[in-house]
Amino acid sequence: MNHSFVIRFSLVMALLLVMAFPASAESSSISSISPSVAYLGTSTTVTITGSDFNTSSVKVKLIRDDESNITASVSSLSSTTIVCKFSISSSKETGSWDLVVVNEDDSEVVKVDGFSLRNAITLSSISPVTGQTDNESVEFTLTGTGFSDVESVYLYNSDYDNVTASVDDVDSTEVTGYFDLDDIDEDTYKVCVLDSAGTRKCGLSFEVTTDQLGTIDISSSPSSAAVYVDGTYYGTSPCTVDELTEGSHKVLIEKTGYTDWGKFVKVTSGGTTTVDADLVAITTAPTTVPTTVPTTVPTTQKAPQNTGAMQQQQTPPSSTPVPTTTTQESPLEGAFVVAAIGIGILALHRKY
């Protein structure tokens, strides 16, 4: 057989096989995943780029050992791009998950550890909550959750440029660092964090205050009274309260047994305001001891007038009524008496 014929026949057969069986989806590949991070309890739209995805139908899921799969809903599909959404339960395990694209013929393209789940970022508190302008090192401690991948902390106000902090230490619940407030405008700013996935979370407030400061010297008569300025306890009198911003501040002095003393005090930049409070003792009214007066019990029954009456009163009435019998004189008995008298008188007359 002619070798050229054999070669030509082999090429034709190979071409027919290629036409009969298109390229397998196993040649599909994943180039990028954006974003590659989602937070527990949230829904995240993800764009997957690659090559040779099945254009009829695909499934996208996240898998991890000892966890149930998380399946996405696909909203857009082409041979190079898949757009889908993951709804992440708050009960899922944080950490790395494999991202899998399942083609229509059930072949799979896997990006090992291609996706991460994290705890949601929350901001709980920042201390201090104020800082003075032109202070180049205002140290702070920020607390919350989901801080493991925080890359920056900054102050945000739409009217000014962001004030980015220098971060010293980061763990899952706390970030420490300092703000440089040199030439920063006095105003209220939002505290924001930004993580490695580009997720931003803002919420707490931080106030940049004036650096025009003054002092209040506080004493009282009597001394050793509790001193509060703007609701903050500063010890007992006498005492000095430094670094108060220029303007009015409420001073409150308290001591047991005395009326509270309160007043708004004006503080001037670089100046010292003196407060000397005379506390007024609380007057306590004397306790009156009540005199015990014998109680006379009124007699509800009059004293008896005679013995008979007393006996009559003390004799209880019979519970059964006794009938009273009245003896009446008969008219015949009276007639017999008159007749007898008459006969007696007549006998005596005949005798004599």
Name the residue among 204, 212, 208 with its Cα closest to residue 132.
Answer: 208
Name the residue among 114, 206, 124 with its Cα closest to residue 172.
Answer: 124
Question: What is the rounded distance in angstroms from the CA atom of residue 159 to the CA atom of residue 184?
Answer: 12
- Residue 88 and residue 168 in contact, taking contact as beta carbons nearer than 8 Å: no
Query: With bands split at pLDDT 50, 70 and 90, how would you rate the model's confidence at 274?
Result: very high
Domain 213-278: CATH superfamily, name plus number = Immunoglobulins (2.60.40.10)
In tens, the pLDDT along 78-116 reads 999 999 999 999 999 999 999 999 998 899 999 999 999
Class of 25-118 in CATH: mainly beta
Name the residue among 259, 291, 120, 271 with its Cα closest to residue 199.
Answer: 120
Per domain, the residue ranges of the chain are 25-118, 122-209, 213-278
Query: What does the pLDDT read at residue 207?
Result: 96
Q: Which residues pair with 90 in a beta bridge?
A: none
In tens, the pLDDT along 164-192 reads 999 999 999 999 999 999 999 999 999 99
Name the residue among 233, 240, 185 with its Cα closest to residue 208.
Answer: 185
Name the residue among 74, 113, 111, 65 with its Cα closest to residue 92.
Answer: 65
25-118 and 122-209: identical CATH topology: yes
Tokens 């801080």 locate to 147
Domain 122-209: CATH superfamily, name plus number = Immunoglobulins (2.60.40.10)
